[in-house]
Amino acid sequence: MTTEQKQEHDDAPVLAVTGGASGIGRATARAWAAEGGRVVLLDLSEEALDATVGQLGDRARGVLADVTSRDSVDAAFASIAEREGRLDALVACAGNARPVPSAEMTDEQFQSLLEVHLNGTMRAARAAHPLLKESGGSIVTLSSVAGFQGMPRRASYNTVKHGMIGLTKTLAVEWAADGIRVNAVAPGYTWTPFNARLQAEGSLDPDPITARVPMKRWAQPEEIAEPILFLASRRASYVNGHTLVVDGGMTIAGDWYHFPQAAG
Ligand SMILES: NC(=O)c1ccc[n+]([C@@H]2O[C@H](COP(=O)([O-])OP(=O)(O)OC[C@H]3O[C@@H](n4cnc5c(N)ncnc54)[C@H](O)[C@@H]3O)[C@@H](O)[C@H]2O)c1
């Protein structure tokens, strides 16, 4: 690498992705790096981090971090300030789901999802704030079609995904004065390890879900990453506080409506 190339590399915009070692986060990191940016992946899983950084090469760095711990998140962003010296966007993907019948759900089960999704996103956003204020950067949070619907056994998951829209709007309004835009993407069902786990546990049957999607298929992670990248980038410079639904038309589908005279 020549000195000029190295300088260009070092000046490249930096994206931090929580949950960046898998699924939608990894696809987002890959797409950002493909446009010439640098990525810092924050994740719980060291093995998955090593594998992802191995795939992305020297544009990527992995940081072992747990978004349920304020110290861990603060240390990760302090390392970005020190090592990368800038931050242009944060995408908060860290998440999981634990479907349980609501009447049997323990406080711990309900609380654990609030910790990862809502508190985790808040911790990352707060830690990123000074760096994003400096760069005029942006944040993209992850809601879901579960942020618009009630689904059985998903009381904690649906709560956090509805809440994410509220958190996103509030940060968008408050931090606009700091030059930071905050938006959410609400994906529909996407082929990632997240859903593979739920399917293996017997908590998810893909076929009836596919039948509800007008496009009759699930998303690939890359199809969620592109809209995330759009919102994170300056191409969306006047989009603020918006939740972009990327679900193949699932949430707006009114195809249950039939004209009785057309039925026969
Ligand atoms: N896959 C879908 O169908 C779908 C649909 C709508 C919304 N979402 C949301 O998108 C986001 C990403 O989902 P995905 O499907 O890519 O999942 P995934 O399981 O493939 O990736 C999630 C990553 O988050 C990490 N993670 C979990 N807890 C963490 C913690 N405490 N600290 C740091 N990292 C942690 C995991 O190690 C994993 O690498 C989640 O917020 C999910 O709720 C997913």
Q: Give percent of the chain above pLDDT 70.
A: 95
**Is 253 among the domain residues?**
no
pLDDT of 8 reads 54
**Is 113 among the domain residues?**
yes
- 140-149 tens-digit pLDDT: 999 999 999 9
**Is 5 among the domain residues?**
no
- 55-72 tens-digit pLDDT: 999 999 999 999 999 999
pLDDT of 5 reads 54
**Is 258 among the domain residues?**
no
**Is 255 among the domain residues?**
no
Please give the distance of CA 37 from its chain centroid, rounded to a whole number: 18
Which CATH number fits the domain that encloses residue 176?
A: 3.40.50.720
Query: Which domain range does residue 210 map to?
Result: 13-248
Is the Cβ atom of 18 under 6 angstroms away from ligand 1? yes
Give distance in angstroms: CA of 8 to centre of ligand 1. Answer: 32
Is the Cβ atom of 121 under 6 angstroms away from ligand 1? no
Rounded distance, CA 44 to CA 72, Å?
10
**Is 262 among the domain residues?**
no
Give distance in angstroms: CA of 22 to centre of ligand 1. Answer: 7
Q: Give percent of the chain above pLDDT 90.
A: 91
Number of domains into which the chain is organized:
1
Is the Cβ atom of 228 under 6 angstroms away from ligand 1? no
pLDDT of 9 reads 61
- 167-181 tens-digit pLDDT: 999 999 999 999 999
**Is 2 among the domain residues?**
no
Alpha helices for 12-69 (secondary structure H): 23-34, 46-56
Is the Cβ atom of 20 under 6 angstroms away from ligand 1? no
Give distance in angstroms: CA of 13 to centre of ligand 1. Answer: 23
**Is 261 among the domain residues?**
no
Q: Which residue has the higher pLDDT, 246 or 203?
A: 246
Say if residue 157's pLDDT is above 70: yes
- 179-219 tens-digit pLDDT: 999 999 999 999 999 999 999 999 899 999 999 999 999 99
Catalytic pick from 157, 189, 238, 257?
A: 157
The answer to whether residue 157 is catalytic is yes
pLDDT of 258 reads 78
- 80-101 tens-digit pLDDT: 999 999 999 999 999 999 999 9
Say if residue 1's pLDDT is above 90: no
What is the 3-state secondary structure of the chain? CCHHHHHHHHHCCEEEEECCCCHHHHHHHHHHHHCCCEEEEEECCHHHHHHHHHHHHHHEEEEECCCCCHHHHHHHHHHHHHHCCCCCEEEECCCCCCCCCHHHCCHHHHHHHHHHHHHHHHHHHHHHHHHHHHHCCEEEEECCHHHCCCCCCCHHHHHHHHHHHHHHHHHHHHHHHHCCEEEEEEECCECCHHHHHHHHHCCCCHHHHHHHCCCCCCECHHHHHHHHHHHHCHHHCCCCCCEEEECCCCCCCCCCCCCHHHHC
